[in-house]
A and B are shown apart, each in its own frame.
Chain A
């Protein structure tokens, strides 16, 4: 279970946040709320890109808020710039296995299977700018799955996509999350997203 306990953060004297939430393993939750309420701030605090002023974050009773982002059990898919543009989709995804991009035969088989499973096996050799936003999100998902981190944070990953692609991408996310028992925390502006994902809503006020 992910336990965010009295995490406090302030951007300035006027903009202060405090978060308390619990999320079970394998659960899908959507973070909702008006602009500026701190949705992305919460994602950045959990992933370690922002340091809280006080409070604690636990993952199965292990304190993780002191760890660096690379050592936390989280991977993140952002709204944009998830894939390195000069690398192919396969090379981008293989970074999830090894930061040097070198992978064994078994790992390559696993990688190919994931591409196949997510319906993007014909995109392996393409560069990110040659594929659609939805396809980019799927490649990012393959990389996140390969990094074998149990919590996947998504900061408005589908907000720039059209309705049809958004629905397809969210369906893939839901199926993948269920299959791999991923805890999914997704920032969203749309009620439809929550319904599609069959997710619990956490509304920030």
Chain B
């Protein structure tokens, strides 16, 4: 029987050097994480001092699960609601602007978003200002705690849900919509017959990723949690290590978090195997689709939905800009130390970004070598699993556990003057890896299928092939992956929360310090500067380095 093109392509070309490098890098990443976790568990469970009772631990676990599940559920509800509204709007331009503006939430640092949310919902925020105008002398809404955490998680998750659901709803065939209209299918049955089938395949993966993000959320809980009653596992580990140096409690909490996250990851991996993750997220559709005529009730519901979404997503962004433009900015810009912190943060971010992109490329290529094979033997199957684990493992391992574990492990071997620097870069790489690998991977598979046979025929291989054939095409995704990685690295407040001090500061740490001492104006100014920096780096990498097609 004749072989398909993909079979012919994968039959010969396989860069062994990249394959081995990818495997070796994955092995190092997994080893470092396993070492860090086991060292914390080993030292922690070996000590006797324990400040947390089993009741405390159960309470923390219950709250962590509650806030994660509620965050995912509410984000999904809002996502479906707004995606339905967007689909029913004819103006492509409006939808394009709306989705682009929503995308800001993907790259905005969590600590910065936290400031924006506080500026709307917090003690001196916009809502309390209106409460004061209405004659109330104290806040009616108690923002800090579960409510604040939910609002923050919705801020980050809802735009992702909207984007994916919108893309799914837009992929419903036009004739289905017309049939539904002629058959008078509407309301809940419309959702059940048309919309639900288009999203049900993506839901487990989407829910799983969002759940993991909320479950291991750290900086937002630290900023908005409002006390021990609203503590999550990750924050409790941080508190146990940083303030009590209670390694026993930290080890128990880390173990619980690890087990739950690993279960979710295994479920996610199952859905990845079924290729559900390879859904193309489109934001623009060239043709004008038929949409139902809107009743007054539907128009009212659409306006309400868009206002609600704007209050939850766009208003914090707007408040962030407005509150950042205050006179404190003059003091901040005249402080030499700030420039040093910015320089230090950008240096860490650039090193992390460069290493992330290089590592991601090696792993993506090694994975592609396996994925494009039509039939996998056991060795290849387990190799693929191994790569998947190396990319996703960090989602299950709390950053604080990683930092503490490595600190315990290398105490006495490495100087404290550069140890936090190394850990920060490592945690940044692990944080960005899932995004960067998947961004590069999608293009890599496409290019392999397109170029492999031609390169084989022309005898182009190795570095020559990379520079002349692959790089010009893959440059744009390198740029995009670098842009995302730079933003994430620059804005991360996880490991730095453990090692941050007067001598070792980054911008997110500085913002957190301002917040801790109630210097909200300074925090808002530095947040605005951080956003500008993030967007500049994103623009530089994705547009200038990535080229025009980025």
Which residues in window 144-165 of A have CB below 8 A to B?
147
Asked if residues B197 and A86 are in contact (CB atoms below 8 Å), the reply is yes
Asked if residues A70 and B184 are in contact (CB atoms below 8 Å), the reply is yes
The listed residue with most B CB atoms (<10 A of its CB), out of A75, A82, A95, A143, is A95
- Tell me, yes or no, whether B176 is within 8 Å of chain A by CB: yes
Mask of A71-83 contacts with B, CB within 8 angstroms, 1/0: 0001110101110
The listed residue with most B CB atoms (<10 A of its CB), out of A74, A76, A87, is A76
Query: Smallest Cβ distance from A67 to chain B, in angstroms?
Result: 10
| Chain A residue at minimal CB-CB distance from B292 | A68
Asked if residues B176 and A99 are in contact (CB atoms below 8 Å), the reply is no
Q: Which residues of A contact B186 (CB under 8 A)?
A: 99
Which residues in window 183-204 of B have CB below 8 A to A?
183-186, 189, 193-194, 197
Asked if residues B181 and A69 are in contact (CB atoms below 8 Å), the reply is yes
The listed residue with most B CB atoms (<10 A of its CB), out of A84, A85, A87, A147, is A84
Asked if residues A100 and B189 are in contact (CB atoms below 8 Å), the reply is yes
With contacts A68-B293, A99-B189 known, is A80 near B175, CB below 8 A? yes
- Tell me, yes or no, whether A96 is within 8 Å of chain B by CB: yes
| Chain A residue at minimal CB-CB distance from B172 | A81
The listed residue with most A CB atoms (<10 A of its CB), out of B175, B179, B193, B292, is B179
Q: Which residues of A contact B293 (CB under 8 A)?
A: 68
Asked if residues B189 and A74 are in contact (CB atoms below 8 Å), the reply is no
- Tell me, yes or no, whether B286 is within 8 Å of chain A by CB: no
Partner among B173, B178, B193 whose Cβ is within 8 Å of the Cβ of A49: B178
Which residues in window 143-187 of B have CB below 8 A to A?
173-176, 178-179, 181-186
- Tell me, yes or no, whether A136 is within 8 Å of chain B by CB: no
| Chain B residue at minimal CB-CB distance from A51 | B293
Complexed CA–CA distance, A6 and B186 (Å): 32
The main secondary structure of chain A at its interface with chain B is: loop
Asked if residues B183 and A99 are in contact (CB atoms below 8 Å), the reply is yes
Q: Which residues of A contact B183 (CB under 8 A)?
A: 70, 95-96, 99, 143, 147
Q: Which residues of B contact A95 (CB under 8 A)?
A: 183, 185, 193
- Tell me, yes or no, whether A169 is within 8 Å of chain B by CB: no
Complexed CA–CA distance, A3 and B380 (Å): 67
Q: Which residues of B contact A78 (CB under 8 A)?
A: 175, 178-179
Asked if residues B175 and A99 are in contact (CB atoms below 8 Å), the reply is no
Q: Which residues of B contact A69 (CB under 8 A)?
A: 178, 181-182
Q: Which residues of B contact A80 (CB under 8 A)?
A: 173, 175
- Tell me, yes or no, whether A47 is within 8 Å of chain B by CB: yes
Q: Which residues of A contact B189 (CB under 8 A)?
A: 99-101
- Tell me, yes or no, whether B290 is within 8 Å of chain A by CB: yes
Q: Which residues of B contact A147 (CB under 8 A)?
A: 182-183
Asked if residues B185 and A82 are in contact (CB atoms below 8 Å), the reply is no
The main secondary structure of chain B at its interface with chain A is: helix
With contacts A68-B293, A78-B175 known, is A84 near B193, CB below 8 A? yes
Q: Which residues of B contact A85 (CB under 8 A)?
A: 197
Q: Which residues of B contact A87 (CB under 8 A)?
A: 193
Asked if residues A76 and B185 are in contact (CB atoms below 8 Å), the reply is no
Query: Smallest Cβ distance from A158 to chain B, in angstroms?
Result: 16
Asked if residues A82 and B181 are in contact (CB atoms below 8 Å), the reply is no
Query: Smallest Cβ distance from A51 to chain B, in angstroms?
Result: 9
Complexed CA–CA distance, A168 and B128 (Å): 72
Asked if residues A81 and B175 are in contact (CB atoms below 8 Å), the reply is yes
Partner among A82, A86, A100, A143 whose Cβ is within 8 Å of the Cβ of B175: A82
Q: Which residues of A contact B176 (CB under 8 A)?
A: 81, 84
| Chain B residue at minimal CB-CB distance from A91 | B193
Asked if residues B181 and A68 are in contact (CB atoms below 8 Å), the reply is yes
Which residues in window 83-105 of A have CB below 8 A to B?
84-87, 95-96, 99-101
Complexed CA–CA distance, A95 and B322 (Å): 53
Asked if residues A81 and B173 are in contact (CB atoms below 8 Å), the reply is yes
Q: Which residues of B contact A101 (CB under 8 A)?
A: 189
Query: Smallest Cβ distance from B153 to chain A, in angstroms?
Result: 32
Partner among B182, B193, B194, B292 whose Cβ is within 8 Å of the Cβ of A47: B182
Asked if residues B179 and A82 are in contact (CB atoms below 8 Å), the reply is yes
When A and B form their complex, which 7 residue pairs have the shortest distance between CB atoms, in order from nearest?
A: A81-B175, A81-B173, A99-B185, A78-B175, A70-B184, A69-B181, A99-B184
15 A-B pairs whose Cβ atoms sit less than 8 Å apart in the complex: A49-B178, A68-B181, A68-B293, A69-B178, A69-B181, A69-B182, A78-B175, A78-B179, A80-B175, A81-B175, A84-B176, A95-B185, A99-B183, A99-B184, A147-B183
Q: A84-B176, A99-B186 are in contact. List 15 more A-B contacts (CB 8 A).
A: A47-B178, A49-B178, A69-B178, A70-B182, A70-B184, A76-B179, A80-B173, A80-B175, A81-B173, A81-B174, A81-B179, A95-B193, A99-B184, A99-B185, A147-B182
Interface residues, chain B, CB within 8 Å of chain A?
Answer: 173-176, 178-179, 181-186, 189, 193-194, 197, 290, 292-293
